[in-house]
Amino acid sequence: MIPLGPATHRALLLVVAVALAYGLATSLRYPSPWAEADTSYFARSISATIDTGTLQEPANPHIYPQGFVYQSWASALLTITGVDVPSYLRVLSPLLGVLFLGVAGLATFIRLMGSVASAVLATLTLFLIPELMFAVLRGNHEKVTLSATLIAALAVLTVIRARERSLPTAGWWSVFLMATASAVGANAYFGSLLTIALAIVLAAVASIGATNRGLAVDLRPLYRPLTQAVALGALVSIAVFFVLYPPAGSLLRVVPVALTGLTSLIEGLLNGTFSAAAAPYAVVDRDWASLAIYRLLSAVRWLLFATSFGVWIAFSLQSVRHRSLRTPDRVLALALYGAFGLLLAFAIPFDLLDIDLGSNLQVRMYAYFAMFSTPVFALGVTRLYDLLGDDARRRLVTRAVTVLFPVLLVAGHLKAVNDPLVSNVWRFYERNEVQAVRFYLEHQPDRLRTMWVGPDRRLREGFYATYPDDAIELLRFDPSGLQNPLAINLRSGADTTSEFALDTANVRAHIALLDSAPLAEAMLGTIVYDNGASVIRHVSSEAASER
């Protein structure tokens, strides 16, 4: 059902090559490893799954409540290959993430756009979007949910095409079921997004079909497969939520909270009394040393958004006014873009209301929206190209795009992994630093004392990701309510409550680079551990006794 000629082979080769180069560049960006919150969480979850051989609490002390597929898959992969968890997360995981996205994107976009060249353009555009690339580079489930979402969309599109030609569809329905189950099983919420988007598409298509009977394309053949896809997707979600993985059912607790919040938001907006419970956009000020550079590196987001939205509006209006849409694929490309755009818009009030569905829902949702915006973006570019009359102009556009894309790729890559140059959120760490953390946790006198490890979570996450087994073991008596023995102190630098402090060149530099931050007082405490590069200091016992 997908054209498998030489053009497709060449396109696949190209996408794989770009993905490998991109992924390896990320893996080798530093000689030292890096980690962030989700990566370290899944390091522990995968490790616990391998160790216990189960996904169920309490035998498994570190489950991921929103899903089970990624850690099962990763633990199986690592058990078979013998690769250890930190190496997988540092080297293999970014590579696999980019490869999955590239290959799934190419296959889906060929089906969606009907042209290998356009699909290549759309697929390569994926690599320009830093938010999307970061999602698949880091060590969490999103490489599975995003690529499985694309494959499930591919299956629906192929079913629709097969039905037009009276070809059998059972195989592709199986693909749809497996891909949807993988996505939902990896993350019950984000994995269900395609089903919700397809429901929106179905509603839109049905209403357009009912009210605009003069369309050039007959939308009725879409009704049945879309309805079936929505029904199957919903069944899969229900099965995961309530039967296969009941911990994911805890996500549903957010529903009444969201409804209450949305009601109050609407009332507040109507009364003029609304005030946001959170400031989701403020993190940019906190996390970036230079807003100008941040905006520059984020340019592709707005370029993509503006272009794709313009194209979407233009094509949609055109289709209504001039009935120019001639294929169901084109209808679906536009409809999926609109549906994911609507879902992204819904994320805004969630973030303003500070409803917990992952930290900063808009950022998480943007990855899914961006994925379905690249075909629309590519449609716009090719359409523009078609509209240009002479070859000279077309060559000019070709050259411009040939230059612009690499520039945007470098900018996007820098945005995803630029620390410590511009971002204040550092992700790199060095072995000697996490060794010191490990030593502290192994020798901590009791849970009443903490060690300050710097102004952000860098070394906490680094330790978790490097020593996932130890992290579970050493922090096993860490029920909520007890403080984390590794204290962090955003921006203020000086921690006055910890009895120990980690003193490394990177920690000192990090504090010094943050505004108005004095060095931690504890940094002149007695050295109680020294591994040659990282030092643990103990605050004077006199100061401790004064508290």
Partner 1 sequence: MLLLGAMVVIASLTGVRAQPIDLAARASLSCEATTRSATRATYACATLDSVFDGAITIVSPSPVAFDADRLPDLLEGTWLFDHGADERIEVVLDLSSPSASSGAVARLYDGRTDLAGAEDCCTRDDLRALDATVSVRAPDGWRNADGSWSTDLVIDVDGPVEVIFGGSAKLSGDLATDGHVDYTIEVTDLDDDGRPEYDVRRAHVPDAVARRIFRSGQAIERSAITVNPHHDEERIRSWIPWPFLGPVTYGFLTNSDLADNYPPIQIDWEAGRIVTVGEFVRSRGNDGQWFVYSFDELGSGATPNELEFESPFAFYDLFDADIELPELAVRMTYTSPGSPTLYAGGYPYPVSGVRYSWIQRQQDRFRQYKVGLLDRYPQDDVVQVGPYALRAFAPYATLPVWVTQRSWTGATFVAEMRPQDTPRGLGEGLNAWDVDTFSRSAFFSHVLGLGASAKDATAGADEIPEGLRGEYRLGMTAEPMLYRSPIDDELHLLHAGGGVWSQGQGDVMTYGNLNGDAYIDVWTLLERRPASAYGSATSLDEGADGALPAARERLYQLPGHLVRWDAGGLAIKRVATRHETLRAPPPATSLTWSALAERLADGDRAPARTTAPMFDRFEGDQALLRGATLLDATHLGSERGYAFLVELASIPAVSAPWLPLPLEGGRYVFGLAADGATWQVEPYRAGTLHARLETSAPTRLEPTRARLVASSDGPWPTKAHATLVVGDQPVRRWDPLEIPAAGRPATERAFTWAPLASGLQDVTLVDDDGVVLARLGTIVVAEAAPGPDRSDVASAVLPRPGAFVALLAAAVLLLAVGVNRAVGRRAS
Scanning residues 5 to 44, which ones bind partner 1 (CB under 8 A)?
14-15, 17-18, 21-22, 24-25, 28-32
The set of long-range contacts for 382-388, using a CB threshold of 8 Å and a minimum separation of 24, is: 382/115, 382/117, 382/118, 382/121, 383/311
Q: Does 61 bind partner 1 (CB under 8 A)?
A: yes
- Please select the residue that binds partner 1; options are 297, 300, 422, 436, rule is CB under 8 A: 422
Locus of tokens 């997707």: 233
CA–CA gap between residue 225 and residue 227 (Å, rounded): 5
Q: Does 410 bind partner 1 (CB under 8 A)?
A: yes
Part in contact with partner 1 (CB under 8 A); list of ranges 145-153, 340-348, 460-468, 534-542: 534-542
Among 224, 138, 153, residue whose Cα is nearest residue 191: 153
Residues 185-214 binding partner 1 (CB under 8 A) are none
Q: Does 325 bind partner 1 (CB under 8 A)?
A: no
**Contact between residue 281 and residue 111 where contact means Cβ atoms under 8 Å apart:** no
Part in contact with partner 1 (CB under 8 A); list of ranges 222-230, 320-328, 363-371, 404-412: 404-412
Q: Which two tokens stand for residue 236?
A: 């899969």
Q: Does 352 bind partner 1 (CB under 8 A)?
A: no
Residues 127-166 binding partner 1 (CB under 8 A) are 127
Cβ atoms < 10 Å from Cβ of 253: 10
Q: Does 405 bind partner 1 (CB under 8 A)?
A: yes
**Contact between residue 525 and residue 501 where contact means Cβ atoms under 8 Å apart:** yes
CA–CA gap between residue 329 and residue 202 (Å, rounded): 14
- Please select the residue that binds partner 1; options are 316, 327, 360, 444, rule is CB under 8 A: 444
CA–CA gap between residue 16 and residue 70 (Å, rounded): 22
The site for partner 1, by CB under 8 A, has a size of 89
Q: Which two tokens stand for residue 398?
A: 């070709």
Among 313, 312, 108, 331, residue whose Cα is nearest residue 221: 331
- Please select the residue that binds partner 1; options are 398, 483, 484, 497, rule is CB under 8 A: 398
CA–CA gap between residue 324 and residue 206 (Å, rounded): 18
Q: Does 124 bind partner 1 (CB under 8 A)?
A: yes
Q: Does 63 bind partner 1 (CB under 8 A)?
A: no
Taking the least distance from each CB to partner 1, the nearer of 317 and 421 is 421
CB of 246 to partner 1, least distance (A): 17
- Please select the residue that binds partner 1; options are 168, 268, 310, 518, rule is CB under 8 A: 518
CB of 91 to partner 1, least distance (A): 13
Q: Does 121 bind partner 1 (CB under 8 A)?
A: yes
CA–CA gap between residue 11 and residue 225 (Å, rounded): 29
Q: Does 476 bind partner 1 (CB under 8 A)?
A: yes
Alpha-carbon torsion (506, 512, 515, 517), positive or negative? positive
Bridge partner list, 423 = 288
Taking the least distance from each CB to partner 1, the nearer of 141 and 427 is 427
Taking the least distance from each CB to partner 1, the nearer of 151 and 472 is 472
- Please select the residue that binds partner 1; options are 218, 354, 442, 530, rule is CB under 8 A: 442
